[in-house]
């Protein structure tokens, strides 16, 4: 944990964080027990960003309570994922949030300045993969990254991808989002010289088995430098890409 504290101090030293903010964080108990949840207040120390609220399976009341706890303890920007429009409307009555319905994602406050090493490029195989891609894109933006969207460049018309080869070559990290046979990840992985995070989506029917086909495809990619997150896990990909884009 010391290294975490050291990071907080480094941020204070470099002016990234005010003494007040640091004080609040360092004085925190490691978590706040609010009965149905033990809100992790040291995650910012441990991992450099506040806890993220996974909205599915939580009631609007529970989400509101967790945001309140986080705010009370000086946790910065709060990210809420997998929250449907109805719950979002409930939450918006108590807390000011920006909500993206396609991505089912909300956050409090403004988007931060991008402070990563380079650019994150997010490519999708088709139009139907966009909601997952947007979850990744917004997550990355909330975490301080410049994001470039490159949608509907699947391998059925591979010239659409090749027309953007420069973009692929200039990326620091690429997120490849695709359903059906998920071949996009391999093709992008074969072209790029940066890490590729592959996100299988549940887009497809029949033997796509709600994303299993794309998932297996991506895990077996013959291209090197490709790793995979869970089906439809745009958040996970955005978070991982941000970590890579902030490596030091």
Tell me which residues in 148-167 interact with its own copies (CB under 8 A). 151-160, 163, 165-166
Instruction: Extract the tokens encoding 156.
Output: 């059925």
Q: What span, in angstroms and rounded, lies between the C-alpha atoms of 172 and 195?
A: 7
C-alpha–C-alpha distance, residues 15 and 18, integer Å: 7
Query: 105, 136 in Cβ contact below 8 A?
Result: no
- Pick one of 18, 30, 84, 85: the residue that binds its own copies (CB under 8 A): 30
Q: Are the CB atoms for 38 and 65 separated by under 8 Å?
A: no
The answer to the question of residue 3 lying near its own copies (CB under 8 A) is: yes
- Minimum distance, C-beta of residue 213 to its own copies, in the bound complex (Å): 4
Q: How far apart are CA 197 and CA 9, in angstroms?
A: 32
Closest distance to its own copies from the beta carbon of 139 (Å):
9
Instruction: Round to whole Å and give the CA distance between 168 and 121.
Output: 7
HSE at residue 72, side-chain half, CA atoms within 13 A, is 13
* CA dihedral sign of residues 95, 116, 173, 158: positive
State the number of binding residues for its own copies (CB under 8 A): 106
The answer to the question of residue 218 lying near its own copies (CB under 8 A) is yes
| Residue 243 lies near its own copies (rule: CB under 8 A) | yes
Asked whether position 228 contacts its own copies by CB under 8 A, the answer is: yes
> Residues 57, 93, 110, 113: which binds its own copies (CB under 8 A)?
57
CB of 156 to its own copies, least distance (A): 4
Tell me the CB-side half-sphere exposure of residue 175, using CA atoms within 13 A.
41
2 vs 19, which CB is nearer to its own copies? 2
Smallest gap from Cβ 45 to its own copies, in A, equals: 9
Judged by CB under 8 A, which stretch of 8-16, 48-56, 68-76, 90-98 contacts its own copies? Answer: 48-56
DSSP 190: H
In angstroms, give the least distance from the CB of 171 to its own copies: 10
Q: Given the rule CB under 8 A, which of 14-22, 69-77, 86-94, 211-219 is the region that contacts its own copies?
A: 211-219
Site for its own copies in 75-134 (CB under 8 A): 82, 117-118, 125-128, 130
Distance CA(233)–CA(79), nearest Å, equals 15
């Amino acid at each position: 944990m010391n290294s975490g504290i050291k990071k907080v101090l480094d941020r204070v030293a470099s002016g990234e964080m005010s003494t007040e903010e640091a004080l609040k964080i360092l004085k925190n108990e490691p978590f706040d027990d609010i009965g149905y949840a033990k809100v992790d207040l040291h995650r910012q120390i441990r991992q450099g960003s506040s806890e993220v609220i996974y909205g599915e399976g939580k009631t609007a009341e529970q989400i509101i309570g967790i945001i309140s706890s986080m705010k009370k303890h000086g946790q910065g920007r709060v990210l809420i994922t997998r929250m449907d429009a109805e719950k979002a409307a409930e939450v918006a009555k108590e807390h000011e949030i920006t909500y993206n319905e396609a991505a089912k994602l909300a956050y409090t406050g403004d988007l931060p300045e991008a402070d990563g090493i380079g650019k994150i490029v997010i490519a999708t195989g088709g139009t139907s993969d966009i909601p997952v891609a947007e979850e990744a894109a917004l997550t990355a933006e909330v975490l301080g990254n410049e994001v470039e969207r490159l949608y509907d460049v699947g391998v059925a018309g591979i010239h659409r991808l090749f027309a953007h080869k420069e973009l692929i070559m200039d990326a620091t990290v690429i997120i490849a989002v695709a359903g059906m046979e998920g071949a996009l990840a391999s093709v992008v992985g074969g072209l790029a010289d940066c890490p590729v995070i592959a996100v299988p989506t549940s887009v497809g029917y029949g033997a796509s088995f709600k994303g299993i086909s794309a998932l297996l495809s991506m895990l077996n990619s013959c291209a090197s430098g490709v790793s995979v997150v869970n089906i439809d896990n745009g958040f996970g990909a955005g978070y991982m890409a941000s970590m890579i884009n902030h490596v030091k």
